[in-house]
Amino acid sequence: MTVDQAAHAAESAKYPPGSQIEVRDEEWLVRNVTPTAHDGDRIEAVGVSEFVRDQEAVFFTALDDVQLMDPRRTRLTRDDSPNFRRSRLFLEAVLRKTPLPQSERGLALADSFLLDSLPYQHRPAQLALSGKNLRPRMLIADVVGLGKTLEIGMTLAELIRRGRGERILVVTPQHVLEQFQHELWTRFAIPLIRLDSVGIERIQREIPAGRNPFTYFKRVIVSIDTLKNTAQYKHHLERIRWDAVVIDESHNLINRGSLRNQLARVLAPQTDALILASATPHNGDARSFAELISLLDPAAIRDPERYEAADIEHLFIRRTKISPEVREQMKGQWADRGPSMSVHCAATAAEERVFEELAEVWLPRDGRSSVSESRLFPYTVLKSFLSSHVALAATVDARIKTLTTKEYAVPGPELAALHRLKDLTAGMSEQNSAKFETLVEQLRSIGVGPKSDTRVVVFSERVQTLEWLRTTVPAALGFKGKALQEAARVMHGGLSDEQQMQCVEDFGLADTPVRILFTGDVASEGVNLHRQCHQLVHYDVPWSLIRIEQRNGRIDRYGQSHPPQFRALILTSEVEGAKDDRTVAERLLEREDEAHRSMGTAEAVSGLYRADAEEKSLIQDLLRGRTVDESLDATARAAAAEDSGTDFLADFFGAVGDDPDEVDADAPPAPADVPRLFTNTREFIDEAMREAFPESQRELELDQDPETGLISFRPPSDLTHRLKALPLDYRREQRLHERLLVTLNRKLADLALVRARESSTSSWPEISLLTDLHPVMEWLTDKVLVRLGRQEAPVITANVKLPVYLIQGIFSNALGRPTVVKWMTVQGRTVTDDMVGVLRDAGVGPTMANPLHNHDLDLLSSGIPGALEAAEDFLRRHSTEWDRALLDPIEKYKERLGTWEQPTLAGPDTKSKLTDLADSLLTTGRPMLRILAVLDSTA
């Protein structure tokens, strides 16, 4: 460790979260401490003393005189509250506010949230905390539908409990912003402020000119499409450090040099934890995937062309629906999908004339050349026609416009052929469309109509097709009047982020009139459409197994209570040589279904791992005369040959980290050692309310229902201020400034969430679950912490023979993070690290009496220095033993780092930086000691 690091560690150990400091002649409660390059430690605090109470502030130790009072000068005070309520609440609050040490690998909050208990979803959090990597960094690559958002939420929650999640940035595609924000708040009580394009503009109007908008809120979610303009935001992003950054759909980061890739490379060095999520993280290129992994750990891969699964198992987790642990735990939680039904649609006479033109002129099979000057364009024409006549007309018009520019001075045969196609489509309408007629029949057969609640999502690749269907299908199904306008929504990439999010929300609320969502493949990534829907129709079929699987995954996902049903409209022709939907689409549907049932995913079938690559390869093979099966098998053989015997692709996409011998599918996650003085959270809330608000019914208009567990009250101004960190839509729609509805009853909270989905007014539930992370819990905890004065510790009358000093001891590393946290008692020279056990044995609890004994405070104070000395000696004697859990993985990483040489993926000083980082994680300096309370007898 360097001299500077040691000095910083000594400073950081002075200000652990939960401690009280004096700055500018006022008292503050430390919330978080992070190092800075030039200004010492950055201390986030909340005001305690009268003039600054509940005000949030940031101090820098190099700029402000920050004083943490010497623990030897702790002032003992009498507690006159009933049952020593004030003292017990204070101790519980300190236990709750103190971050868990870095060496604690168990999960502290696994069963605290509004979700089913599925141990497989805890695995990413366990990996992040395992110590296998220097920092909590990983790629969650579970296949579509397994619940990656929930896995991210649990991981973030555990980081927050460890003091490593104060500043969080979540980056997602624009159409899933609200969905992601909604899940993290309703499930985990982790509030994220949505900074879409409108949100950033609003904040920039409210804050001083030049102020960094990303410092305005601590936890934000923003669209990758907004942030990728690094020229506009790069200087802001480079000047702010995050505790955790999440990038969803991270396969979009792979292309080196792209704006998204540049964004990721700006963010990766500016965060401690980095979580990437993607169901399709690989593009088939070893080097590209290695570059993605290098964002997480630059030293993970030695040779970006040749590496194995074992090289990245500390960074990568992937399961499919048929993985052993998932399959066992999912029983009853996720209905099995039905078959993919191919619904044949015999071409109409008008469509057959187009097929004849395509077979004769554009895609002849008798050895003649196509009329087109472009080798690939005939398949563009074919695919647009297989979508709809309106899509074909748009393709033809665009090509005519291209060919009539100055570049093409002499009209050629292709232009004439285009005009013939234009004439053939000019008079066509829905009456000439076999697919249209069949779609209406299929929708009626599954119950979609004016008097039904049945919903369906209809996919098409072409915007023109989507818009045409939106204007024609509702009327054909019998919708009239206002319902005609409200029955369907259209969603595609040409809509704004607000419009896309509104489409998803309307379709997911049971009480809205939307029955059909016509959408393009913008909805095939990350969007949940299964809440009110289990029917999906492919109006046209993408020529990619990956894209088909992504589409199906919108309704075939965790939480789906009905068997998902898939239909694909297959246009058939009697024209000799016609390449109708049976040529490609129908066979791809069959191959996707086969792969999903046998392997849990279809993305590895072709060996190409990218939807656009699959389609391009397939078209090229069709031009060579190959069938779909021959094309898929040939590309897979080529990919396997390129692997040259390594386990590269097979291991990565055969579910890394899913060895059934390593996983007990029914085993709950290992719990963290989290000491608690109160029996449960409800007991803490009740007593905290009585202590902080003696006349709560008058002060807060508090109302508690003992049967349902509902707690209702009017938030005071200091809590209302904290609620500004909650989603704006949620605050406004639920009028949180007027009344809060919270509960510890999970069934009640879940019922509120279900009701919200059935409402047409808001998807936000009116009742929120009081997790340990909820702002109300944080507010109450701070309230009871400040009931004691500056550097005061209470004296509690208890069943002890000699005075017992309760002492908190914390060792920290060079980054100021706790590595060892011990809750000690000192009686004479005897030291234990079981404070809660000693309190229990001494009779400290809610039924204890407070005799208001007049303790000799001076005599008890004289014993403080000796107690602190004994506690520090105890910590030092055992520190090596406690450090072992932290030291072993760090030493293993440094050993691997010592032989690592890879200048192509990292800068020349990366190795030294990683070595310094490893050293900075080790315990250093003296422990921070704090007198919490003293137990004394009545004798």
- pLDDT tens sequence across 473-526: 999 999 999 999 999 999 887 877 678 878 888 888 888 899 999 999 886 676
User: What are the tokens at 725?
Assistant: 């960190």
Identify the helix (H) or strand (E) that includes residue 930: strand 923-936
Q: 143 in the Ramachandran plot: left (φ > 0), alpha (ψ -120 to 50) or beta?
A: beta
Between CA 161 and CA 99 the distance in angstroms is 6
Instruction: Grade residue 350 by pLDDT with cuts at 50, 70 and 90.
Output: very high
Q: Which of 336-345, 429-438, 639-648 is most confident?
A: 429-438
Q: What's the one-letter identity of residue 472?
A: T
Instruction: Give the model's confidence band at 464: pLDDT under 50 very low, under 70 low, under 90 confident, else very high.
Output: very high
pLDDT band with cut points at 50, 70 and 90 for residue 639: low
Tell me what pLDDT residue 49 has.
67
Strands (E) across 193-300 are located at 193-194, 219-223, 242-248, 271-277
With residue 912 as reference, give the H or E element that holds it: helix 910-920
Give the other-Cβ count within 10 Å of 678's Cβ: 20
The pLDDT > 70 percentage for the chain reads: 90
Which of 614-620's residues contact partners 24+ apart within 8 Å by CB, and which partners? 614/543, 614/544, 614/545, 614/546, 614/547, 615/542, 615/543, 615/544, 615/547, 618/543, 618/544, 618/584, 619/376, 619/379, 619/543
Highest mean pLDDT among 40-49, 83-92, 215-224, 274-283: 83-92
Give pLDDT, residue 50.
56
Q: What is the pLDDT of residue 760?
A: 63
Q: What is the mean pLDDT of the segment spanning 403-421?
A: 81
Q: How confident is the model at residue 432 (pLDDT cuts 50, 70, 90)?
A: very high
| Higher per-residue pLDDT: 891 or 800 | 800
∠ CA 595-599-603, rounded to 5°: 60
Q: What pLDDT is recorded for position 231?
A: 62
Sequence-ordered list of residues with C-beta below 8 angstroms from that of 894, at least 6 positions apart, any chain: 915, 918
Report residue 168 as tokens.
Answer: 């969080």
- Within 8 A by CB and 6+ apart from 598, the residues are none
Lowest mean pLDDT among 361-365, 366-370, 394-398, 475-479: 366-370
> CA dist 380 to 219, 363, 414, 577, 616, Å?
44, 11, 14, 17, 11
More confident residue, 642 or 211: 211
CB crowding 842-868: b at 16 or more within 10 Å, else e: bebeeebebeeeebeeeebbebbeebb
Closest CA to 312 of 334, 284, 329, 291: 291
Work out the mean pLDDT of the chain and round it to a whole number: 86
Eight-class DSSP state of 135: S
Name which residue leads in pLDDT, 649 or 929.
Answer: 929
Q: How confident is the model at residue 309 (pLDDT cuts 50, 70, 90)?
A: confident
**Model confidence pLDDT, tens digit, residues 879-931:** 888 888 888 888 888 888 877 765 555 566 778 888 888 888 888 777 889 99
Helix (H) or strand (E) holding 845: none
State the pLDDT at residue 645.
Answer: 39
Both structure tokens of 433: 């469309």
What is the model's pLDDT at position 25?
83
Query: Which amino acid does the sequence have at 357?
Result: E
Whether the pLDDT of residue 661 is over 80: the answer is no
Name the percent of the chain in helix, strand, coil, to the closest 5. Answer: 45, 15, 40
Per DSSP, helices labelled H in 583-727 are 585-599, 611-623, 628-643, 648-652, 681-692, 696-699, 717-722
Of 582, 178, 549, the C-alpha closest to 345 is 582
Strand residue runs (E) in 400-449:
none
CA–CA separation, 321 vs 634, rounded Å? 27
CA distances from 921 to 6, 272, 468, 811 (A): 11, 12, 60, 11
Query: Residue 918: its pLDDT value, please?
Result: 85
Q: Which amino acid is at 54?
A: D
Q: Where are the alpha helices (DSSP H) in 497-584?
A: 497-508, 545-552
* Cβ atoms of 454 and 517 closer than 8 Å: no
Bigger pLDDT: 299 vs 692: 692
Alpha carbon separation from 822 to 274, 288, 674 (Å, rounded): 29, 45, 11
3-state SS, residue 244: strand
Mean pLDDT of 789-804: 93
Confidence band of 201 (pLDDT split at 50, 70, 90): confident
Q: Look at residue 96 in the predicted model and tell me its pLDDT.
A: 93
pLDDT at 212: 78
Amino acid 410: pLDDT: 59
777-783 average pLDDT score: 94
CA atoms within 13 A on the CB side of 834: 6
What is the predicted pLDDT for the residue at 663? 42
- 453 vs 376, 446, 476, 511, 516, CA distance in Å? 43, 11, 17, 9, 10
230 contacts 263 by C-beta, under 8 angstroms: yes
pLDDT above 60 (res 8): no
- Provide the Cα torsion 71, 74, 78, 84; round to 10°: -20
Q: What average pLDDT does this structure show over 90-100?
A: 93
Pairing mode, if any, of strands 535-538 and 242-248?
unpaired
| pLDDT at site 168 | 95
Angle 36-37-41 from CA coordinates, rounded to 5°: 30
When pLDDT is cut at 50, 70 and 90, the band that residue 646 belongs to is very low
Residue 44: pLDDT band with limits 50, 70, 90: confident
Q: Residue 169: pLDDT above 70?
A: yes
Tell me if 193 sits within 8 A of 199, measured CB to CB. Answer: yes
List Cβ<8 Å contacts ≥24 apart for 631-637.
Answer: 632/545, 632/591, 632/605, 632/606, 635/606, 635/607, 635/608, 636/605, 636/606, 636/607
Please tell me the distance from the alpha carbon of residue 517 to that of residue 506, in angstroms, as a whole number: 10
Lookup result for tokens 């005075």: 803
Collapse the DSSP code of 582 into the 3-class scheme (helix H, G, I; strand E, B; otherwise coil) and give the result. coil
The mean per-residue pLDDT over the stretch 228-250 comes to: 81
pLDDT of residue 704 exceeding 80: yes
Q: What distance lies between CA 834 and its chain's CA centroid?
A: 36
Task: Report whether pLDDT(409) > 90.
Answer: no
Q: What is the pTM for the complete model shown?
A: 0.83
As given in the structure block, the two tokens for residue 884 are 């072992």
Segment 828-840 shows an average pLDDT of 95
- How far apart are the C-alpha atoms of 383 and 395, rounded to whole Å? 10
Looking at residue 657, its pLDDT comes to 45
Backbone angles phi, psi at 136, to 5 degrees: -75, 85
In the chain, the N- to C-terminal Cα span, in Å, equals: 51
Q: Report yes or no: 78 and 794 within 8 Å, Cβ to Cβ.
A: yes
Determine whether 76 is exposed, middle or buried from the number of CB atoms within 10 Å of its CB (0-12, 13-18, 19+): buried
